[in-house]
Amino acid sequence: MAKPKIVTASAEHIEAVAAIEKDAHMTPWRLESFRRELTNPDGLFFVACHEGKVIGYALAWVIVDEAHIVNVAVEAEHRGEGTGRALVALLLEETRKRGATCATLEVREGNEAAIGLYRSFGFEEAGLRKRYYEGIANAVIMWLHEIPA
């Protein structure tokens, strides 16, 4: 597959984002939550498109000097093609431009593909949030202590 085009999310992308979210997560965000992110002054919201179709998205917030990667998902049929890596790389670059010096995220315990992706950027496991997902599954807290320039 050709490298996807990554653009800032807009209203026209929201329904496709919500569909990917619903497929990727047991407790998906509501459509309205994604719509609100379009105007969040602390947020960054990108979509990856291939042949005009949204195949992935990523959200982060910058709070003071910390980036919080809130949500990253890629359509099942496009996982493993580098889209998630491209989205995370762009989030880190753009959050650094907004003044973030470090980054954190939560990832479902046992999601080795995602954990491996984040480790490849230098994120380290820092703890667990018990029953974070659906009141059942634990989340691994990960930190990148210095976003590289």
Q: Which of 38, 139, 149 is nearest to 100 (CA)?
A: 149
Q: Which of 67, 70, 61, 64 is nearest to 21 (CA)?
A: 70
CATH code assigned to 5-144? 3.40.630.30
Q: What is the pLDDT of residue 131?
A: 79
The one catalytic residue in 21, 37, 75, 118 is 118
Q: What is the pLDDT of residue 3?
A: 87
Containing H/E element for 120?
Answer: helix 112-120
- In terms of C-beta density within 10 A (0-12 exposed, 13-18 middle, 19 or more buried), how is residue 17 classed? buried
Tens digits of pLDDT across the chain (149 residues): 678 999 999 999 999 999 999 998 878 899 999 999 999 999 999 999 999 999 999 999 999 999 999 999 999 999 999 999 999 999 999 999 999 999 999 999 989 999 999 999 999 999 998 877 777 888 999 999 999 98
Q: Is residue 133 flagged as an active site residue?
A: no
Q: Where are the domains of the chain?
A: 5-144
Q: What is the pLDDT of residue 6?
A: 97
Sequence-distant (≥ 6) Cβ neighbours of residue 51 within 8 angstroms: none
Q: Which of 51, 52, 96, 90 is nearest to 72 (CA)?
A: 90
Quote the CA–CA distance of 147 and 149 in Å, as a whole number.
7
Is there a contact between 95 and 67 (Cβ–Cβ < 8 Å)? yes
Q: Is residue 106 flagged as an active site residue?
A: yes
The one catalytic residue in 37, 81, 106, 124 is 106
Rg of the chain, C-alpha, whole Å? 14
Q: What is the pLDDT of residue 132?
A: 77
For residue 115, report the phi and psi dihedrals to the nearest 5 degrees: -60, -40
Q: Which residues pair with 48 in a beta bridge?
A: 6, 56
Is there a contact between 144 and 122 (Cβ–Cβ < 8 Å)? yes
Quote the CA–CA distance of 40 and 55 in Å, as a whole number.
22
